[in-house]
Amino acid sequence: MKSTYRVLFYIRKTRPNKDGLVTIAIRITIDGESIEFNPKLFVNPLIWNPIGRAEGRNREAKEINDALDKIRSDLKNHYQEIYERDGFVTPEKLRNAYLGLDIQKYTLLLMYDSLVEQKRNLVDKAIRSTTLSKYTATRKRIEDFILHQYSKKDMPLREVNYQFISDYEIAPISIKTFS
């Protein structure tokens, strides 16, 4: 069952900046639960329409409305992704996905660290310490591979695909073992 979903754009008139522009805020409401955030957009309050758009045909109004349309579209896409992945969407999940906060939360090395920690707790119960050392060595090889191949310290899980696995598999041993 899909939930009720609404996006509202409004302005905060009480705090204009030095140019007289006010902040546009976003309120996401899903099943009666809402969250608000600031997309770092500013507008002249004189051209703002309470329906959540800038009025007029000038360049400023067009740019603001185009940005709002893009935000609405991005939020809709993130909503669909989250719903297909998790089966439900919360305003916080949607905001975090839009702002890119969930990307940092789910990275390959962080997830692998979680696996290593689980294995560490099983030492002398279900696995031997030599098995744990194989997991930690593999984690180091993956870290070295990401650094060498992508010049990154870690990578989001959403970027791990067949090509990544294939490249890791055929990478020379020297890449996997350099320190």
Domain residue ranges of the chain, discontinuous segments joined by +: 5-103, 106-177
Buried b (16+ CB within 10 A) or exposed e, 94-107: bbbbbeeebeeeeb
- State the angle between helix axes of 129-150 and 108-122 in degrees (0 to 180), rounded to the nearest 10: 170
Q: Is this structure's pTM higher than 0.85? A: no
Under 8 Å CB-to-CB from 20, ≥6 apart: which residues? 44, 45
pLDDT of residue 73: 96
pLDDT of residue 144: 92
Under 8 Å CB-to-CB from 127, ≥6 apart: which residues? 119
- Contact indicator for 75, 93 with CB cutoff of 8 Å: no
Neighbours of 116 (CB within 10 A): 16
Query: How far is 111 from 119, CA to CA, in rounded Å?
Result: 13
pLDDT of residue 179: 45
Residue with tokens 């290593």: 116
Q: Give me the DSSP letters along 123-176.
A: BTTTB-HHHHHHHHHHHHHHHHHHHHHHS-S--BGGG--HHHHHHHHHS-HHHH
> pLDDT truncated to tens, each residue of the chain (179 aa)?
456 899 999 999 888 888 899 999 999 999 999 999 998 899 999 999 999 999 999 999 999 999 999 999 999 999 998 888 778 889 998 998 898 876 556 789 989 998 999 999 999 999 999 999 999 999 999 999 999 998 889 887 878 889 999 999 888 766 555 54
CA-CA-CA-CA torsion sign (144, 150, 156, 162): negative
pLDDT of residue 58: 93
